[in-house]
Structure 1
Amino acid sequence: MTMSIFTNPSCFTLVLVSITLVLALARRFLRSKKPKDQLPPGPRGWPIIGNMVQMITNQPAHLWIHRVMEEMQTEIACFRFARFHVITVTSSKIAREVLREKDEVLADRSESYASDLISHGYKNISFSSYGENWKLMKKVMTTKLMSSTTLSKTIGYRNLEADNIITYVYNLCRLGSTMKPVNVRDTILTYSHAVMMRMMFGQRHFDEVTENGGLGPKEKEHMDAIYIALDCLFSFNLTNYIPFLRGWNVDKEEAHVREAVHIINRCNDPIIQERIHLWRKKGGKDMEEDWLDILITLKDDQGMPLFTFDEIRAQCKEFNIATIDNTMNNVEWTIAEMLNHPEILENATNELHMIVGKDRLVQESDIPQLNYIKACSRETFRLHPANVFMLHHVAREDTTLAGYFVPKGSQILVSRLGLGRNPKIWDEPNAFKPERHLDGHVENSLGTTLMEPEMRFVTFGTGRRSCPGTKVGASMTIMLLARLLQGFEWTLPHGQSQVELISAESNLFMAKPLLACAKPRLAQGLYPKIQT
Structure 2
Amino acid sequence: MAIDTSLLIEFAAATLLFFITRFFIRSLLPKSSRKVPPGPKGWPLVGALPLLGNMPHVALAKMAKRYGPVMFLKMGTNGMVVASTPGAARAFLKTLDINFSNRPPNAGATLLAYHAQDMVFADYGARWKLLRKLSNLHMLGGKALEDWSQVRAVELGHMLRAMLELSQRTEPVVVPEMLTFSMANMIGQVILSRRVFETKGSESNEFKDMVVELMTTAGYFNIGDFIPSIAWLDIQGIQHGMKHLHRKFDRLLTKMMEEHTASAHERKGNPDFLDVIMANQENSTGEKLTITNIKALLLNLFTAGTDTSSSVIEWSLAEMLKNPSILKRAHEEMDQVIGRSRRLVESDLPKLPYLQAICKESFRKHPSTPLNLPRVSTQACEVNGYYIPKNTRLSVNIWAIGRDPDVWESPEEFRPERFLSGRNAKIDPRGNDFELIPFGAGRRICAGTRMGIVLVEYILGTLVHSFDWKMPDGVEINMDEAFGLALQKAVSLSAMVTPRLHQSAYAV
* TM-score normalised by structure 1 residue count: 0.87
Kindly indicate whether residue 226 of structure 2 is the aligned counterpart of residue 260 of structure 1: no
Partner of 1:146: 140
- Alpha-carbon offset, residue 328 of structure 1: 1.3
Match 1:81 to one of 66, 71, 75: 75
CA–CA distance in 2 between the matches of 1:429 and 1:103?
A: 28
Partner of 1:499: 477
Decide whether aligned partners of structure 1 residues 121 and 29 sit closer, same or farther in structure 2, where only a CA change above 3 A counts.
farther
**1:239-388 matches, cutoff 5 A:** 239-276=224-261, 285-298=267-280, 300-301=282-283, 306-388=288-370
Deviating more after overlay: 265-274 vs 504-513: 504-513
Q: Supply the AA of the counterpart residue of 2:47.
A: N
Decide whether aligned partners of structure 1 residues 190 and 16 sit closer, same or farther in structure 2, where only a CA change above 3 A counts.
farther
The 8 Å contact of residues 228 and 256 in structure 1, kept in 2 or not, is answered as no
Partner of 1:41: 38
Match 2:180 to one of 181, 186, 189: 189
The 8 Å contact of residues 57 and 400 in structure 2, kept in 1 or not, is answered as no
Kindly indicate whether residue 58 of structure 2 is the aligned counterpart of residue 67 of structure 1: no
**1:200-215 matches, cutoff 5 A:** 200-205=191-196, 209-210=198-199, 214=200
Decide whether aligned partners of structure 1 residues 302 and 135 sit closer, same or farther in structure 2, where only a CA change above 3 A counts.
closer
Kindly indicate whether residue 394 of structure 2 is the aligned counterpart of residue 415 of structure 1: no
Decide whether aligned partners of structure 1 residues 305 and 22 sit closer, same or farther in structure 2, where only a CA change above 3 A counts.
closer
Partner of 1:470: 449
The 8 Å contact of residues 103 and 463 in structure 1, kept in 2 or not, is answered as yes
The 8 Å contact of residues 87 and 410 in structure 1, kept in 2 or not, is answered as yes
- Alpha-carbon offset, residue 25 of structure 1: 4.5
Match 2:113 to one of 116, 119, 137: 119
- Alpha-carbon offset, residue 236 of structure 1: 0.8
SS at match of 1:108: coil
CA–CA distance in 1 between the matches of 2:452 and 2:158?
A: 18
SS at match of 1:441: helix
SS at match of 1:489: strand
SS at match of 1:317: helix
Decide whether aligned partners of structure 1 residues 29 and 131 sit closer, same or farther in structure 2, where only a CA change above 3 A counts.
farther
CA–CA distance in 1 between the matches of 2:341 and 2:174?
A: 27
- Alpha-carbon offset, residue 326 of structure 1: 2.0
SS at match of 1:123: coil
Partner of 1:236: 221
1:248-281 Cα shifts (integer Å, max 9, x gaps): 43211112111211111111112223435766xx
CA–CA distance in 2 between the matches of 1:420 and 1:380?
A: 10
1:205-238 Cα shifts (integer Å, max 9, x gaps): 36xx32xxx2x32222222112211112111121
1:6-60 Cα shifts (integer Å, max 9, x gaps): xxxxxxx99998644411455687893355311110112456x36156347x444
**1:85-164 matches, cutoff 5 A:** 85-164=79-158
Deviating more after overlay: 434-443 vs 410-419: 434-443
Deviating more after overlay: 183-192 vs 261-270: 183-192
The percentage of counterpart residues that share the same residue type is 24
SS at match of 2:160: helix
Partner of 1:4: none
SS at match of 1:400: strand
The 8 Å contact of residues 57 and 397 in structure 2, kept in 1 or not, is answered as no
Match 2:434 to one of 447, 450, 455: 455
1:266-309 Cα shifts (integer Å, max 9, x gaps): 11112223435766xxx784234432122111254569994210
Q: Supply the AA of the counterpart residue of 2:61.
A: H
Q: Supply the AA of the counterpart residue of 1:457.
A: L
Partner of 2:460: 481
- Alpha-carbon offset, residue 97 of structure 1: 1.4
- Alpha-carbon offset, residue 420 of structure 1: 0.4
Q: Supply the AA of the counterpart residue of 2:249.
A: I
The 8 Å contact of residues 222 and 267 in structure 1, kept in 2 or not, is answered as no
CA–CA distance in 1 between the matches of 2:193 and 2:356?
A: 28
Deviating more after overlay: 139-148 vs 366-375: 139-148
- Alpha-carbon offset, residue 133 of structure 1: 2.2
Kindly indicate whether residue 5 of structure 2 is the aligned counterpart of residue 23 of structure 1: no
Partner of 2:162: 168
CA–CA distance in 2 between the matches of 1:46 and 1:388?
A: 25
Decide whether aligned partners of structure 1 residues 520 and 144 sit closer, same or farther in structure 2, where only a CA change above 3 A counts.
closer
The 8 Å contact of residues 15 and 250 in structure 1, kept in 2 or not, is answered as no
Decide whether aligned partners of structure 1 residues 278 and 331 sit closer, same or farther in structure 2, where only a CA change above 3 A counts.
closer
Gaps of 5+ in 1: 1-12
CA–CA distance in 1 between the matches of 2:450 and 2:361?
A: 18
* TM-score normalised by structure 2 residue count: 0.90
Q: Supply the AA of the counterpart residue of 2:478.
A: E
SS at match of 1:517: strand
CA–CA distance in 2 between the matches of 1:148 and 1:59?
A: 38
SS at match of 1:185: helix
Kindly indicate whether residue 29 of structure 2 is the aligned counterpart of residue 51 of structure 1: no
**1:418-429 matches, cutoff 5 A:** 418-429=400-411
SS at match of 1:512: coil
The 8 Å contact of residues 348 and 373 in structure 1, kept in 2 or not, is answered as yes
Decide whether aligned partners of structure 1 residues 411 and 131 sit closer, same or farther in structure 2, where only a CA change above 3 A counts.
same
- Alpha-carbon offset, residue 131 of structure 1: 2.0
Decide whether aligned partners of structure 1 residues 19 and 383 sit closer, same or farther in structure 2, where only a CA change above 3 A counts.
farther
Decide whether aligned partners of structure 1 residues 284 and 481 sit closer, same or farther in structure 2, where only a CA change above 3 A counts.
closer
CA–CA distance in 1 between the matches of 2:9 and 2:359?
A: 47
CA–CA distance in 2 between the matches of 1:16 and 1:504?
A: 35
SS at match of 1:79: strand
Gaps of 5+ in 2: none
Decide whether aligned partners of structure 1 residues 305 and 384 sit closer, same or farther in structure 2, where only a CA change above 3 A counts.
closer
RMSD: 2.8
Partner of 2:377: 395
- Alpha-carbon offset, residue 147 of structure 1: 3.4
CA–CA distance in 2 between the matches of 1:305 and 1:416?
A: 34
SS at match of 2:158: helix
The 8 Å contact of residues 164 and 528 in structure 1, kept in 2 or not, is answered as no
